[in-house]
Amino acid sequence: MSEIVLQVDNLSKKYKKVDAVKGVSFDIKKGNVYGLLGPNGSGKTTTLAMLMGILHPTQGSFSWFGNGQEDRNRLRIGCLLETPNFYPYLNAYDNLRVTATIKNMQNPKARIEEVLEYVDLKERGKRTFRTYSLGMKQRLAVAAALLSDPEVLVLDEPTNGLDPEGIAEMRELILKIGSEGKTIILASHILDEVQKICSHVVMLKQGEMVYNGSMSDLLLQRKSYRLMADDREKLLSVLGSLQQVKILTNEPDSLMVELDENLTGADLNRLVAEKGIYLSELHAYQKSLETIFLERMKL
């Protein structure tokens, strides 16, 4: 079993009459990319701020690396929670030297060169920060988070405000970091990016957790199929008699149905055949993360 790097137990944050986070519990395992997913106002940033020691929980607890909430844990974590904040008239090298000083790093020159090359900014390292595009600023912020070679990287909305090219560059950078074994916790409301990047999902709705598990399990929780038969009316009648089947759409050229978790497409084919119906079409259909997300937000 993978090593657990973060345990969250009944974490809550209340502001006067607003419950921003309500009793959230989950574990983060080493080497995975976790998406903290939810609409604006769902509690993602508040949760990360508590985990990074910026906010104090109203209730509950968390533990990094089995060490509780000790300050030394943050030396093992790289973090980007807000808009990149660097000195505008300093270049990338000098800004990272300031970051290295704050982190008490000794002789950081070689490491600064390394992280700038890693985020594809080495050739532009002598340009001042104020001349950078938003995408370049975000990549420099990731370089700063990686400077001390942390075990865990925490990112809050890293693609927010970026153009399509910037989003693609950030996505590829995060995938590269994850492929090298670092644990990543990524908060986002951009569903397509979460689906492309994350191996696991913690889904929040109005401060409450509505899903915690692997991306693959989430996408396959409910199985949908497109099907058709020559005797359409009899097929509809048979499907309506099966409690394990829910008819989603009834179009002239096909039907879309959703099956219970314990029923396969082969099972469905057999059940309708036993009723004298032979399917002319049966295609598995995987719901997108967007579809599943919108369904869970309506519950």
Quick one: tokens of 99?
């970051």
pLDDT in tens, 156-197: 999 988 999 999 999 999 999 999 999 999 999 888 889 999
In contact, 13 and 57? CB cutoff 8 Å:
yes
pLDDT in tens, 236-278: 999 999 988 988 888 888 888 888 877 888 999 999 999 999 9
**What is the mean predicted confidence (pLDDT) over 95-107?**
94
Quick one: tokens of 96?
């990272």
Selected residue with higher pLDDT from 220 and 123: 123
**CB neighbour list of residue 134: distance below 8 Å, 6 or more residues apart:** 161, 162, 163, 166
pLDDT at residue 289 is higher than 60: yes
Whole-angstrom distance, CA of residue 193 vs CA of residue 207: 21
User: DSSP assignment, residue 263?
Assistant: -
In contact, 75 and 148? CB cutoff 8 Å:
yes
Quick one: tokens of 197?
């990047």
**CB neighbour list of residue 8: distance below 8 Å, 6 or more residues apart:** 24, 25, 26, 27, 28, 51, 60, 62
CATH for 221-298 is 3.30.70
pLDDT at residue 136 is higher than 60: yes
Helices and strands, number each (H, E), in the chain: 10, 13
Range(s) of the chain covered by CATH 3.30.70: 221-298
Give the pLDDT score at 2.
Answer: 56
**What is the mean predicted confidence (pLDDT) over 102-127?**
95
In contact, 204 and 36? CB cutoff 8 Å:
yes
> For the purposes of burial, counting CB atoms within 10 Å of the CB of 210, is it exposed (0-12), middle (13-18) or buried (19 or more)?
middle
Whole-angstrom distance, CA of residue 132 vs CA of residue 209: 37
In contact, 202 and 211? CB cutoff 8 Å:
yes
Whole-angstrom distance, CA of residue 291 vs CA of residue 13: 29
In contact, 34 and 2? CB cutoff 8 Å:
no
In contact, 36 and 188? CB cutoff 8 Å:
yes
Whole-angstrom distance, CA of residue 155 vs CA of residue 32: 14
Whole-angstrom distance, CA of residue 119 vs CA of residue 42: 30
Quickly name the fold that domain 4-218 has: Rossmann fold (3.40.50)
pLDDT in tens, 42-93: 999 999 999 999 999 999 999 999 999 998 898 899 999 877 789 999 999 9
pLDDT in tens, 1-27: 459 999 999 999 999 889 999 999 999
**What is the mean predicted confidence (pLDDT) over 96-119?**
95
pLDDT in tens, 30-50: 999 999 999 988 999 999 999
Give the pLDDT score at 221.
Answer: 63
User: DSSP assignment, residue 18?
Assistant: E
**CB neighbour list of residue 16: distance below 8 Å, 6 or more residues apart:** none
> For the purposes of burial, counting CB atoms within 10 Å of the CB of 79, is it exposed (0-12), middle (13-18) or buried (19 or more)?
buried
Quick one: tokens of 40?
């604006």
Whole-angstrom distance, CA of residue 104 vs CA of residue 72: 13
Range(s) of the chain covered by CATH 3.40.50.300: 4-218
